[in-house]
Structure 1
Amino acid sequence: MDGNNKYFVLILLHLSLASTHTLRGHLQPLGFQRDTDGDITTLSILPSNEEFYQLLINKETALLKNAAKRSPAIDHWTEKYLKEKYGNLTLKLEGKSEDQTRPEGSLGLGFDTISNFIDSYHVQPKYAVTQLPDPMRHEIFVMPFMRCGPLSTSVIESHLWMSSGQTNSRLHRDNSRKDWILMDSKHLDKMYINNQVDNFSGSSSINPDRVNLLRYPRIAEIPFKQGNITPGDCILVPPGCAHQVRSHGPVNVAFTFLFEITDDKLKNFNPIHCSQDYVPLSQYHLSWSYSGSGILSMGNSESNTFRKEILEQWFGKRTKIHFNIIQDTFEGLLKYYPKEATKVTTLVKDILKQYNAINSNEIVSRERCESITIEDWRKFQFIIESATNIQNNPDYEYYLTSYRLVRQVAEKAVVETSGLFDKIKFKNSYRAAGGSGAFADKILTALDSNQDGLITISEVASNLDVALESYKLVEYDDDVNVPSDGEGGNQEDDEDRGGASEEEDEGIDSEEDPDVENKQMTSSSEYHNKKKHDEL
């Protein structure tokens, strides 16, 4: 995808405010290292369609005061209301520090229901950044300029943010009082980006709470602007603009629009026939939406861009190819997920047949492929992107967890003297190793054949292979160690594991061994084969 055309608009819904070194700003928060270049452009009156498009053409950051005040969510979305009306919907979780491992929710690692999240997010180090569930869309209103011209069909998805405040993000390029620091992407070489996926996304190695200028001196050279958004405000962030966000207060709720639009479409914009009315997001086109359960499509490519890239991969300058080329493409994209590769290959062949794009000799026509509707392209795109971005899958924990380690944990919970399986010991050990209580309960349910609440040794012998079948998605070569009860893992009173070490705090530039991995239930990222991850 061409990230140069990717914008997003963030809208803050709720906010409750709670209230020495020779190197300037050393070991202090980001922004203390130099004077600001001032505030971003602030518009107190809603921009006209022409004015908003000019902001896009100029790739300008802008704060739009009170632009979203008409959304019913501004007044309705209290914790009590959200629990009662939307409590069963699924949220995707992040740690309050971006160094933190994926937090535990009631649905497993990285996933929670809205109801349980609201009950726990004030006391646990987690926040929600998730695709906005469809049932909530009618309470968000779309501003008039978002309904005008090519922008009306260019919004990829909408995200929901919820936090208890006192959260911060790494300096990154993608995305509430939220205090914003924004830096031009032309200074990217000074930002110490350590996981850049393409020409617009990635995050910095710098700890934004304690900037170590001995290790990261060039960050102090970058000019920046700042902005503070309050309930009902919007902020427009252009493609590639690096930004760091700090939330304050006990409750923050916000949502974003992520959109992609080419410069050609912007320059040829015709404002005639544009509406001046707000409409519910439920009546607005999104490339990707989310029902509120199951696999998310968060971060998926815009489908027209995906189609263009896939056709180029398949055909290049050719007009016809053999289907084997298409099959090889998917097997390469889904290298670690052969079942998904088979599924998408079968689906593609069926679609090609519907459009008479493949003949009896399995020769495929580019011309007929280009006639396939975007809805049909999206079907196999979803399979591909779901497999290559496993953090969108509520079964995410299976991909992170070593089958052999879970089996060892289970075998150590067998009590020979009583002939029973110690469920408490197993659950504690599983969670100590980095798993969740929800997934431990799934294993226990599968082991207990007669559901009498007791698990015998014979039930373990009969059912363990079936109970752990889903953990065979990734095979491990490394030896694993089973932690004893209470060691490590996702315990509710764990301290936030983010931030610099004591050596870093004192300015010691110690090298970390990239090959030293946590021997808990965390797999190597090579298995994930992730294309990109846009966490706005």
Structure 2
Amino acid sequence: MEMMNLNQILFPFFAICVLIGSFQCLVDTKTPRGHLQPFGSHADPSVITDELDTVPNSLKFYENYVKPQKPVVFRGAAKQSRAYHEWTEEYLINEYGDLTVRLEARHEGNKDIPPGEGGLLGRDTVKHFIENYQNIDGYIISQVPGPMERDVSIPPCLLCGTFTNGIQEVHLFLSAGGGKTLVHQDPYENIHCVFNGTKKWILVHPDQTDLIYLSPSSLEEFGGYSLIDVDAVDLIKYPKIQQVKYAILTLNKGDCIYMPSGYLHQVRSNGLMNSAVAIWFSFFTKSHPFEGADCNKDLEFKPMSEVDVLWKFDGYNDLQQGHMDIYVLKTVLLTSADKNGQIWLDKFTKHFIQFEDEDEDTADYCDNIRHQFCDILDPNGRGYVTVGEVKELSIDMLKKLLLTFDPTDVSNTVEFEYSHIAANDIIKLATHLATIGPDPGFHGDEFINRYVTDIGGTPEKAKEILTGLGADETGLVTMEMVQKNIGKAVEKFKTARHHDPTVEHLWFEHLKKHGELE
């Protein structure tokens, strides 16, 4: 049989492609638009976002934007804050230089968190940060420190009705040289205001969530993020991105935007100095509706220092950011009542207050947390509370209940490095260095360098580990010393608290099942 040449093989195939009008056949050499380019390059923006020159009153804000979960830009609203007029590098250093703030990597998704003044991972002073922020790979994302509150004004749309009891926390953003986020969704409602620089936003409606490739954990949480690389979207690996319809807008100095909870967005910051705040407030559920029939009135902007915010930060001690929503706790309680309107606390706590690492060794500790919760809510030991009693719980009582199982996140404390660095990584590094060294071991300065560059820790903690091994930065560490002392040397890393999403997953699943998140 005579062998056919390549043209004889391919001609019928191309003929079929022409006949059916298809541009994608078995061999398709056309590269999708936007492949390996920044997110948003796959198509032109086709969604329009409302823009207003004034901030509506609370009732109109709720009816027109919060209830339908619709973003809106408030042009010029941030000009009402003193920060818009005063925040320069010199002003921030002179007025607030000694305040403590929380640091993250400049680009969201980067796990290498920079150290600040004093060598503490993820913490810095305002002065030290501003003196170095043009060169370090980090930015401030921190609760607004107490003394700064006078410079940040809360928009009047949040100053009436249920909004007034639902402002959870206010975040400060301060960066230089640009920064970016992943495509993500926040767990709270959010009004974001820019005081310096600009921010480019890409917005994607939640009804396109199935096109965004959320991480597996994000499907079980109130917030979440996409797996795509926002700088170079792989449209071969993530082809559904090509179908995403989006809005694009720029917030200039002085502008604010309302971003609904769960609304997908991606942000890029620009400017020699970029400063902003994000006001996080509770979202509404069927069991936590908006109440404010008398809120159809115009109010004035008010400094944060004169407004009730659930979680505040004094600027010196541990931060209180990132707590779960007390009104979600209240909703979970209300929707767990039996037909008689009673919530049985033993059943409730065993089901809704669980922990990822709960086992025989931690059983007593976990039971103690559940008992604390019950004792606070039911001091008379009846074993239950009623729906009516839950509805009457004060904000302080709800916060006290929440803190029993959702204490201050370790990333908000000076102990952060112990939870950020895995003990096993330290053990592997020390063992590896002791094995390959030309001497019978390794020198302390070599360990310090590798601990910082390979693991992402600080020299201060590396020296602490060396002390636990029985050496210093100039001394020799032998394999015998590693084998004998490594357990003691990494004890704080082994026992440090870690973020545990188990409770959030349980609550999220419960509220979805009961239709509270619709």
After TM superposition, is the score higher than 0.5?
yes
In structure 2, C-alpha distance between the alignment counterparts of 1:304 and 1:266, rounded to whole Å: 10
Please, which of 209, 231, 234 is the counterpart of residue 188 of structure 1?
209
Checking the alignment, whether the CA contact within 8 Å between 2:105 and 2:114 is kept in structure 1 is: no
Checking the alignment, whether the CA contact within 8 Å between 2:161 and 2:290 is kept in structure 1 is: no
Checking the alignment, whether the CA contact within 8 Å between 1:67 and 1:232 is kept in structure 2 is: yes
2:229 equivalent in structure 1? 207
What does 1:105-504 correspond to in 2, within 5 Å? Answer: 105-106=115-116, 108-174=120-186, 177-195=198-216, 196-198=218-220, 200-262=222-284, 269-272=292-295, 274=297, 276-310=299-333, 319=342, 321=344, 326=349, 330=353, 332=355, 335=358, 341=366, 344-345=369-370, 347-348=372-373, 350-352=375-377, 355-356=379-380, 358=381, 363-366=383-386, 370=390, 373-386=394-407, 390-403=410-423, 405-406=425-426, 422-437=443-458, 439-440=460-461, 443=464, 468-473=490-495
1:31 equivalent in structure 2? 40
Deviation per CA, 1:114-162, whole angstroms, max 9, x where unpaired? 3332233322222222222223212111122221222122222211111
In structure 1, C-alpha distance between the alignment counterparts of 2:476 and 2:43, rounded to whole Å: 65
Checking the alignment, whether the CA contact within 8 Å between 2:162 and 2:290 is kept in structure 1 is: no
In structure 2, C-alpha distance between the alignment counterparts of 1:187 and 1:63, rounded to whole Å: 21
* Secondary structure in 2 matching 1:249: strand
Structure 1 residue 409 displacement after superposition: 5.6
Deviation per CA, 1:363-422, whole angstroms, max 9, x where unpaired? 4555797365431331241242237x54444423222434355357668999xxx9x995
Deviation per CA, 1:398-455, whole angstroms, max 9, x where unpaired? 22434355357668999xxx9x995433322322341422552671696699xx9998
In structure 2, C-alpha distance between the alignment counterparts of 1:397 and 1:56, rounded to whole Å: 38
Structure 1 residue 281 displacement after superposition: 0.5
Structure 1 residue 468 displacement after superposition: 3.8
Checking the alignment, whether the CA contact within 8 Å between 1:97 and 1:169 is kept in structure 2 is: yes
1:5 equivalent in structure 2? none
Letter in 2 for 1:180: W
Letter in 2 for 1:397: E
Matched pairs, number: 457
Deviation per CA, 1:481-517, whole angstroms, max 9, x where unpaired? xxxxxxxxxxxxxxxxxxxxxxxxxxxxxxxxxxxxx
Structure 1 residue 186 displacement after superposition: 0.9
In structure 2, C-alpha distance between the alignment counterparts of 1:58 and 1:233, rounded to whole Å: 22
1:486 equivalent in structure 2? none
Checking the alignment, whether the CA contact within 8 Å between 1:133 and 1:291 is kept in structure 2 is: yes
Structure 1 residue 303 displacement after superposition: 1.1
Deviation per CA, 1:195-218, whole angstroms, max 9, x where unpaired? 414465221122122222222222
In structure 2, C-alpha distance between the alignment counterparts of 1:368 and 1:421, rounded to whole Å: 66
Deviation per CA, 1:148-182, whole angstroms, max 9, x where unpaired? 22212222221111121421211122276211111
In structure 2, C-alpha distance between the alignment counterparts of 1:122 and 1:114, rounded to whole Å: 13
In structure 1, C-alpha distance between the alignment counterparts of 2:167 and 2:396, rounded to whole Å: 16
Please, which of 73, 78, 99 is the counterpart of residue 89 of structure 1?
99
* Secondary structure in 1 matching 2:250: strand
State the TM-score, normalized to the length of structure 1. Answer: 0.71
1:403–1:238: structure 2 CA closer, same or farther, 3 Å change rule? closer
* Secondary structure in 2 matching 1:254: strand
1:127–1:267: structure 2 CA closer, same or farther, 3 Å change rule? closer
Structure 1 residue 57 displacement after superposition: 3.0
In structure 2, C-alpha distance between the alignment counterparts of 1:404 and 1:211, rounded to whole Å: 33
Structure 1 residue 239 displacement after superposition: 2.9
Deviation per CA, 1:305-325, whole angstroms, max 9, x where unpaired? 213425766979784757587
Letter in 1 for 2:213: Y
In structure 1, C-alpha distance between the alignment counterparts of 2:134 and 2:363, rounded to whole Å: 41
Checking the alignment, whether the CA contact within 8 Å between 1:98 and 1:170 is kept in structure 2 is: yes
Structure 1 residue 255 displacement after superposition: 0.5
In structure 1, C-alpha distance between the alignment counterparts of 2:367 and 2:467, rounded to whole Å: 28
In structure 2, runs of 5+ residues without a counterpart are 1-28, 509-518
2:504 equivalent in structure 1? 531
* Secondary structure in 1 matching 2:102: strand
Structure 1 residue 56 displacement after superposition: 2.3
Deviation per CA, 1:299-349, whole angstroms, max 9, x where unpaired? 322213213425766979784757587468645466277686366346435
In structure 1, C-alpha distance between the alignment counterparts of 2:68 and 2:227, rounded to whole Å: 29
2:81 equivalent in structure 1? 71
In structure 2, C-alpha distance between the alignment counterparts of 1:58 and 1:308, rounded to whole Å: 20
In structure 2, C-alpha distance between the alignment counterparts of 1:227 and 1:474, rounded to whole Å: 42
What does 1:512-527 correspond to in 2, within 5 Å? Answer: none
Letter in 2 for 1:163: S
Checking the alignment, whether the CA contact within 8 Å between 2:213 and 2:227 is kept in structure 1 is: yes
Checking the alignment, whether the CA contact within 8 Å between 2:337 and 2:387 is kept in structure 1 is: no
Structure 1 residue 259 displacement after superposition: 1.6
In structure 1, C-alpha distance between the alignment counterparts of 2:339 and 2:96, rounded to whole Å: 47
Deviation per CA, 1:214-265, whole angstroms, max 9, x where unpaired? 2222212222111111111110112322111111222111111112242667
Structure 1 residue 21 displacement after superposition: 6.7
In structure 2, C-alpha distance between the alignment counterparts of 1:205 and 1:80, rounded to whole Å: 39
Alignment partner of 1:46 is 2:55: yes
Identity of aligned residues (%): 25
In structure 2, C-alpha distance between the alignment counterparts of 1:316 and 1:156, rounded to whole Å: 32
In structure 1, C-alpha distance between the alignment counterparts of 2:101 and 2:405, rounded to whole Å: 22
1:322–1:212: structure 2 CA closer, same or farther, 3 Å change rule? closer
Checking the alignment, whether the CA contact within 8 Å between 1:331 and 1:338 is kept in structure 2 is: no
* Secondary structure in 2 matching 1:250: strand
Letter in 1 for 2:179: T
Checking the alignment, whether the CA contact within 8 Å between 1:172 and 1:242 is kept in structure 2 is: yes
Structure 1 residue 97 displacement after superposition: 2.9
Letter in 1 for 2:159: R
Checking the alignment, whether the CA contact within 8 Å between 1:37 and 1:223 is kept in structure 2 is: yes
Structure 1 residue 105 displacement after superposition: 1.4
Letter in 1 for 2:71: T
In structure 2, C-alpha distance between the alignment counterparts of 1:372 and 1:334, rounded to whole Å: 31
State the TM-score, normalized to the length of structure 2. Answer: 0.73
In structure 1, C-alpha distance between the alignment counterparts of 2:306 and 2:369, rounded to whole Å: 31
Letter in 2 for 1:64: F
